[in-house]
Amino acid sequence: MVEQGMNKDDDSFRDIISTVDEDGRRKWVFPKKPKGKLTNYRTYLSYFLLAILFLNPWIKIDGEPMLMFNILTRKFVLFGQVFWPQDFYLFALIMITLVVFIVLFTTIYGRIFCGWICPQTIFMEHVFRKIEYLIDGDYKHQIQLNNQPWNLEKITKRGAKYSLYYLISLLISHTFLAYIIGADELIRIQKSPVQEHLVGFISIIIFSWVFFFVFAWFREQVCLIVCPYGRLQGVMLDRNSLVVAYDYIRGEGRAKYKKNEDRKKENKGDCIDCNQCVDVCPTGIDIRHGTQLECINCTACMDACDFMMEKTNQPKGLIRIDSENAIAENKPNKFSTRSKAYTAVLLLLVVLIVYLFTLRGSMEATILRTPGTLFQEQENGMISNLYNVKAVNKSNKDLKLTFEVMNFEGTIKMVGSDTLYLPKGESSQQAFFVHISKDKLFTRSTKIKIGIFSDGVLLHENKTTFSGPEE
């Protein structure tokens, strides 16, 4: 990493944060409005992801939301599948697998998630920053407005901008709450008087001000200071990882552009030192110093530099997605054996996550012979055993369970109600007798299988033993 940049020995930029001055005061970043092919792609993707984010709580699968993380009732829903506390090990396993997936993905493909998919970046760059450009203008106007005294123009623009910011923050906090308590509960809160749901109301207000604070003031500091994923980049990235990188071999010997010059003859590098890559950077860094923790891989500098390269009739890609090794060796990036192996592991992890989902049935049950009971001989030549069933309903609908002996001609007689009623997300138990004809039993202990059905559909099979008299 040290090798990149104009002055290989000058590593002083690593001692400071780009957004803090020598006195420790915040340096406000006024990034230039980015434009270009990648910016367009990023914008389309962000609108698509925003639509998913806002619609998700309202989309239902079998009556359950697409995603819900109700930490209050410990009910988690992933793609319509309810994970009750009994499934927590599975939920934790899926989450751990996802973390491993993210680490491996970052090692090979870099930090592309931050710049293209992370909700913080999407809201900051594609919602709040766009409103800022619309009201305050591009970066030069923003700086001018910031420095001017509080006159009518500044009050009006600040008022309009922050009012819109707060309205959007309120919308985000409602959506955020819908992910926690569910959309139905959110509507119920909205429709009933405030005093009936004071906690919900206060939560919405607190969240809305937190979001307002983050997007109006804290901004890129989330990525630079708070985000753990950002902080871990140093250990996840290596010289073969794909990152947004400046080709210092090609670019150095940087010098301003002069019309009709022959830069090769004059021994100048391709970088025309126009500073456009720095101007557009939302975290205020100079990518020409090399890979830095502050770089969120948003690719805005790639667009800016490509534009300048085109203008000066030079090949595009002076700043591009590449590995440090490929740039140092001046060779195209090779998909190394390690990258192939990691990609294979990534695919396996996807299969594992899908498999973990399928492991989870709609119910779980244990059937045990009631302790301390013996078999009973009935007058009609039948032998009966008493059992106890404990069942957990992990589906999102109430179940009425019936039982059948699967591998013997036997009958089941429930104690009490004919069916075991199991409300969704709850557990219940009931006792029942199994009757098997004496002439079908050849040993003292016979292995039997009991099937558990709901609406005629077999949900679960349970093995247990049936005790009978000695032959």
Question: What does the binding site for ligand SF4 look like in residue numbers (CB under 6 A)?
Answer: 115, 244, 246, 251, 271-277, 280-283, 285, 287-288, 295-301, 304-305, 308, 318-319
- Nearer to ligand SF4 among residue 243 and residue 420 (C-beta): 243
Q: How far apart are CA 283 and CA 220, in angstroms?
A: 6
- Nearer to ligand SF4 among residue 174 and residue 288 (C-beta): 288
- Nearer to ligand SF4 among residue 116 and residue 387 (C-beta): 116
Q: How far apart are CA 393 and CA 375, in angstroms?
A: 30
SS3 category, 447: strand
Question: In sequence order, what DSSP letters do the residues of 359-372 get, joined into one string?
Answer: H--SEEEEEEEPTT
Q: How far apart are CA 17 and CA 25, in angstroms?
A: 11
For 246-336, where are the alpha helices, taking DSSP H only? 248-251, 276-279, 300-311, 324-328
- Nearer to ligand SF4 among residue 58 and residue 229 (C-beta): 229
Question: Which residues neighbour 151 within 8 Å (Cβ) at sequence distance 6 or greater?
Answer: none
- Nearer to ligand SF4 among residue 271 and residue 422 (C-beta): 271
Closest distance to ligand SF4 from the beta carbon of 293 (Å): 10
Closest distance to ligand SF4 from the beta carbon of 37 (Å): 14
- Nearer to ligand SF4 among residue 172 and residue 287 (C-beta): 287
- Using alpha carbons, list the distances in angstroms from residue 401 to 94, 411, 421: 29, 15, 6
Closest distance to ligand SF4 from the beta carbon of 150 (Å): 32
- Nearer to ligand SF4 among residue 196 and residue 310 (C-beta): 310
Closest distance to ligand SF4 from the beta carbon of 257 (Å): 8
SS3 category, 24: coil
Phi/psi at 147 (nearest 5 deg)?
-85, -15
Closest distance to ligand SF4 from the beta carbon of 261 (Å): 14
- Nearer to ligand SF4 among residue 242 and residue 271 (C-beta): 271
Closest distance to ligand SF4 from the beta carbon of 392 (Å): 48
Closest distance to ligand SF4 from the beta carbon of 210 (Å): 24
Closest distance to ligand SF4 from the beta carbon of 145 (Å): 23
- Nearer to ligand SF4 among residue 303 and residue 364 (C-beta): 303
Closest distance to ligand SF4 from the beta carbon of 274 (Å): 4
Q: How far apart are CA 454 and CA 48, in angstroms?
A: 40
Q: Are the C-beta atoms of 168 and 128 separated by less than 8 Å?
A: yes
Closest distance to ligand SF4 from the beta carbon of 301 (Å): 3
- Using alpha carbons, list the distances in angstroms from residue 353 to 85, 153, 197, 360: 19, 54, 38, 12
The DSSP H or E segment spanning 185 is helix 183-191
Per the listing, tokens 């700086």 go with 143
- Nearer to ligand SF4 among residue 168 and residue 280 (C-beta): 280
- Nearer to ligand SF4 among residue 135 and residue 244 (C-beta): 244
Radius of gyration (Cα) for the chain, nearest Å?
32
Q: How far apart are CA 392 and CA 291, in angstroms?
A: 52
Q: How far apart are CA 333 and CA 352, in angstroms?
A: 30
Q: How far apart are CA 415 and CA 417, in angstroms?
A: 6
Per-residue buried b or exposed e for 124-158, using 16+ beta carbons within 10 Å of the residue's own CB: bbbbbbebbeebbeebeebeebeeeeeeeeeeebe
- Nearer to ligand SF4 among residue 281 and residue 422 (C-beta): 281
Q: Which of 146, 231, 190, 183 is nearest to 60 (CA)?
A: 183
Closest distance to ligand SF4 from the beta carbon of 179 (Å): 28
Closest distance to ligand SF4 from the beta carbon of 106 (Å): 15
Q: How far apart are CA 170 and CA 48, in angstroms?
A: 21
Q: How far apart are CA 120 and CA 54, in angstroms?
A: 14
